[in-house]
A and B are shown apart, each in its own frame.
Chain A
Amino acid sequence: MNVSNLTKYYGKFKALDSVSFTVDKGWVYGYLGPNGAGKTTTIRTMLGLLKPDQGEVQIAGVNPTNNPVNALQHVGYAPELPTLQGFFTGEQMLDFMGKMFGLSTQKRKERITQLLDLIGLKEWGKKKIGNYSKGMVQRLSVALALINDPMVLIMDEPTIGMDPEATAHFRSLFTNLSKEGKTIFISSHLLDEVQRICTHVGMINKGKIVFTGPIEQVLETFTQQWAVEAELEKVTETIVSSLKKLDFVEDVKVDGNKLMIELKEKKDMRGEISSEIFKQKGVLLSLNLHKITLEDAYLRALKGGK
């Protein structure tokens, strides 16, 4: 999938501002951003539901706005908190979607059985969707996205509304699908989820991409320093000033009996720090190296800094 220079206005409001990124085959691409950042707008434009004011999207080399039939034939899409047609049963809904993709009767039958089993709704297949819980609708929505055995899977907050067991099940499903060579694009608020299953990350804020790249790179890019968190029995001025004098220490912040010692380099200096604290007669209760998490990187990226 190639999104290039995508710009979208809602009236005078610029919802997307020259958004560009590429998602290659086999990647699990996590798309992060706060509410209203432009995540769903990006997805809806990628699917041809919105017409971009500038730029274009290509899925397997085809523009979905101009040629939805070819571009979307191998794409599965699960929208955020979908409302499915309540008059269908789960099986009928899957069958209808299979028909939309031109699957044969036999193929549809096979896929419906497989997918209902996969999403844990085997017993609910013959019941009307109107009777499903939110989590069940969400699960069915993922199954609908998989009915055509797509090469590209686009999901907007796919595990929202699911219970923890189902969430874990679906995360492992997405990982397995990516191992099969499928390209997965996930928009999510759940940073932990993204960190666990994604190979690449895109971050959007106020309609602009602030980062796109491999997940290791995002952590590297948004951290120039590590920090050591020290908990002492009592923090004294002598301890703080002596720590500040160490040549590898950038700054020391005090919070009650806790110290956040920011390091100049990405090195584990806990040994040197504990020695210095003991030298100053401090009693150390705990000492932890504070590496950056995706959440830290995400928050820093949104602030526009590194």
Chain B
Amino acid sequence: MDALRRVAVIIGYEWRRALAKKKILALLILAIAFQTLIMIGFSQLVGTIFLTNEIKPFMWIYGVLQGQGLFVQLIAIIVAGSSMAEEYEHGTADILLSKPITRVEYISGKFLGGFSLLAMVEALTTFVGVVLSLWFFGAQSGLQFAPLMFLAIAYSSLIFFCLSFMCSEIFRGSTLAMLLAFGIFIASTVIGAILVSLSSLSGQHLYLYLSECIPTWAATSFPSFLMSELITAPSTALPVADPETLYLATTIIAVYTIIFLLIAAYRLLKTDVTKKTA
């Protein structure tokens, strides 16, 4: 019970620390503004070939998903990238880890604190997406799946959250951690697109399989794959994914998450606490 209490104290601390950073709030406002603008844009296309009336009841899915691709990943990278590193940079890791707490409890609290904050952001963007779709496109279908959509988005954001968290602990510098994680995100997106193009040009499935192993594929596609499984109406225009693809995406997210977390934990448990670096 004491261990759980200590983890909970660190979770609370992590929330305060992250919320004190204005750039997270700025990104959240930007994400919501982006969602709103896109929905306004879509509302102008209703009735055209770009947005048929059949899609209108499913627009909430797009309202929720559009923020997930870039902004949620970016917020995940920023929240996690500073989580461990800033404590070393400011020298506050010394103060925290010289208290009666194990390093496992500390990293668990840091991870859960950061991730729960990210999940709150995702819950908010999901809610905003649903509200905007109701506002602009009227009654929506399949809204009972909105909580599942939120969980899918949270789960899929684990990859880049954990990658940035790992970089934060390995390099113990927040800027480097965020840049590296964001660089991998961009590189992974570009390489994925190239591999998919190569596959369609050459007809070789190997390129396609390779593209599926790249972190962005599962991180960005998983929620839409899940929705296409749950809402079978063809008018949703969601990418069709068979159960095996969904299973593959689930596994890839889990594998990357576990590997990144284990590396971060190993680094913290096996090495010295770095003295103030900034």
Interface check A47, CB cutoff 8 A: yes
Please determine whether B102 and A69 come into contact, CB atoms closer than 8 angstroms. yes
Please determine whether A144 and B101 come into contact, CB atoms closer than 8 angstroms. no
A100-B6 contact in complex given A48-B97, A69-B102, A87-B16, C-beta closer than 8 Å: yes
Give the complex CA separation of A70 and B99 in angstroms: 10
Q: Which residues of A contact B92 (CB under 8 A)?
A: 83-85
Q: Which of A50, A70, A85, A96 contacts B9 (CB 8 A)?
A: A96
Q: Which residues of A contact B94 (CB under 8 A)?
A: 44, 47, 49, 79, 82
* Nearest residue, chain B, Cβ from A96: B13
Q: What 0/1 pattern do residues 121 to 152 of B give for CB contact below 8 A with A?
A: 00000000000000000000000000000000
Q: Which residues of A contact B20 (CB under 8 A)?
A: 87
Please determine whether B100 and A73 come into contact, CB atoms closer than 8 angstroms. yes
Please determine whether B16 and A68 come into contact, CB atoms closer than 8 angstroms. no
Please determine whether A68 and B95 come into contact, CB atoms closer than 8 angstroms. no
Give the complex CA separation of A73 and B6 in angstroms: 12
Interface check A298, CB cutoff 8 A: no
B98 → A minimal CB distance (Å) = 4
Please determine whether B102 and A68 come into contact, CB atoms closer than 8 angstroms. yes
Q: Which residues of B contact A68 (CB under 8 A)?
A: 97, 100-103
Interface check A174, CB cutoff 8 A: no
Q: Which residues of B contact A85 (CB under 8 A)?
A: 17, 90, 92
Interface check A51, CB cutoff 8 A: yes
Interface check B5, CB cutoff 8 A: yes
Give the complex CA separation of A11 and B20 in angstroms: 37
Q: Which residues of A contact B271 (CB under 8 A)?
A: 51
Interface check B2, CB cutoff 8 A: yes
Give the complex CA separation of A69 and B13 in angstroms: 19
Residues A45-62 near B (CB distance < 8 A): 47-51
Interface check A29, CB cutoff 8 A: no
Interface of B is mostly: helix
Interface check B276, CB cutoff 8 A: yes
Q: Which of B5, B103, B272, B273 is the most central at the interface, judged by chain A CB atoms within 10 Å of its CB?
A: B272
Interface check B275, CB cutoff 8 A: yes
A1 → B minimal CB distance (Å) = 14
* Nearest residue, chain A, Cβ from B5: A102
Residues B164-196 near A (CB distance < 8 A): none
Interface check A252, CB cutoff 8 A: no
Give the complex CA separation of A209 and B53 in angstroms: 83
Q: Which of B91, B99, B273 contacts A101 (CB 8 A)?
A: B99
Please determine whether A101 and B100 come into contact, CB atoms closer than 8 angstroms. yes
Q: Which of A40, A49, A72, A144 is the most central at the interface, judged by chain B CB atoms within 10 Å of its CB?
A: A49
Please determine whether A72 and B273 come into contact, CB atoms closer than 8 angstroms. no
Interface check A99, CB cutoff 8 A: yes
A97-B17 contact in complex given A49-B273, A50-B272, A51-B272, C-beta closer than 8 Å: no
Interface check A170, CB cutoff 8 A: no
A31 → B minimal CB distance (Å) = 16
Q: Which of B90, B94, B275 is the most central at the interface, judged by chain A CB atoms within 10 Å of its CB?
A: B94
Q: Which residues of A contact B97 (CB under 8 A)?
A: 47-49, 68
A82-B5 contact in complex given A51-B272, A72-B100, A96-B13, C-beta closer than 8 Å: no
Q: Which residues of B contact A124 (CB under 8 A)?
A: none
Interface check A77, CB cutoff 8 A: yes
Further 18 A-B residue pairs, CB within 8 A, beyond A48-B97, A49-B97, A88-B16: A44-B275, A48-B98, A49-B94, A68-B97, A68-B100, A68-B103, A69-B2, A69-B102, A72-B100, A73-B100, A79-B95, A79-B98, A83-B91, A84-B92, A85-B90, A87-B20, A99-B9, A144-B95
**What are 12 A-B pairs with beta-carbon distances under 8 A?**
A49-B94, A50-B273, A68-B97, A68-B100, A72-B98, A72-B99, A83-B90, A83-B92, A83-B276, A99-B12, A100-B96, A100-B101
Which residues of A pack against B, CB within 8 Å?
A: 40, 44, 47-51, 68-73, 75, 77, 79, 82-85, 87-88, 96-97, 99-102, 144
Closest A-B pairs by Cβ, 6 of them = A87-B20, A49-B273, A47-B98, A100-B99, A72-B100, A50-B272
